């Protein structure tokens, strides 16, 4: 009888040990690289293909993309700096109409000065000493209130660092007085400058 109890106890201990060793009882951390994660979303999708797609093709992919993959893309792009250095030319009658300082938004870094400059009969939006955390497909908007839905898309951001110019064609800069740097694929605001 005691032998049967001992065997029962040993069997129970073995069963509990096997159960605790089961994958259900311990955490498995997965750290797959970005190429593997993108390929799971769509066969043959690479970071380069994703960032060069137009928004219409990219939107369905973003909608089914897990947050950790979006984070991996943002981390990868943030390590890349695109530097540009545009001059205003030899205009002697430049007039600064408005200026504003960039500030980062949603955990992103942005600094530098935005200026509305009149050069002859042309207005420009100029960034000086500018730097922003890089992101996929960053865009420049000028808005009346900082919301791109009410704003005008000027162009793709030319560089994440450096001086750059954007032509302002027939834009009322008294109404449209806030510059926004916006990540098109993920709908994230990276920076803004209020112009006064």
* Residues near 61 by beta carbon (within 8 Å), at least 6 away in sequence: 41, 42, 45, 50, 53
Q: State how far the Cα of 57 lies from the Cα of 5, in Å rounded to an integer.
A: 67
Quote the pTM value.
0.77
Secondary structure letter of residue 22 according to DSSP: S
Per-domain residue ranges for the chain? Answer: 2-78, 94-194
Beta strand extents in the chain (DSSP E only): 94-104, 110-119, 122-132, 138-143, 152-156, 164-168, 178-183, 188-194
Assign 39 a pLDDT band (cuts: 50, 70, 90). confident
Q: What is the mean pLDDT of residues 28-39?
A: 72
Top-level class of domain 94-194: mainly beta
Per-residue pLDDT tens for 133-171? 999 999 999 999 999 999 999 999 999 999 999 999 999
């Amino acid at each position: 009888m005691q032998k049967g109890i001992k065997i029962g106890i040993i069997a129970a201990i073995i069963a509990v040990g096997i159960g605790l060793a089961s994958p259900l009882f311990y955490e498995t951390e997965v750290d797959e690289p970005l190429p593997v994660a993108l390929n799971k979303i769509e066969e043959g999708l690479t970071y380069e293909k994703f960032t060069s797609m137009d928004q219409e093709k990219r939107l369905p992919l973003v909608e089914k993309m897990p947050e950790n993959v979006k984070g991996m893309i943002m981390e990868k792009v943030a390590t890349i700096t695109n530097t540009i250095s545009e001059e205003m030319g030899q205009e002697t009658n430049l007039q600064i109409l408005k200026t504003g300082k960039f500030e980062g938004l949603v955990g992103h870094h942005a600094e530098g000065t935005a200026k509305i400059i009149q050069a002859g009969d042309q207005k420009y939006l100029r960034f000086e000493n500018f730097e922003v955390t890089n992101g996929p497909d960053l865009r420049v908007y000028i808005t009346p209130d900082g919301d791109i839905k009410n704003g005008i898309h000027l162009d793709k951001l030319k560089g994440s660092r450096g001086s750059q110019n954007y032509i302002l064609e027939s834009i009322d800069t008294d109404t449209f007085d806030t510059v926004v740097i916006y990540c098109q694929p993920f709908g994230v605001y990276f920076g803004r400058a209020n112009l006064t």
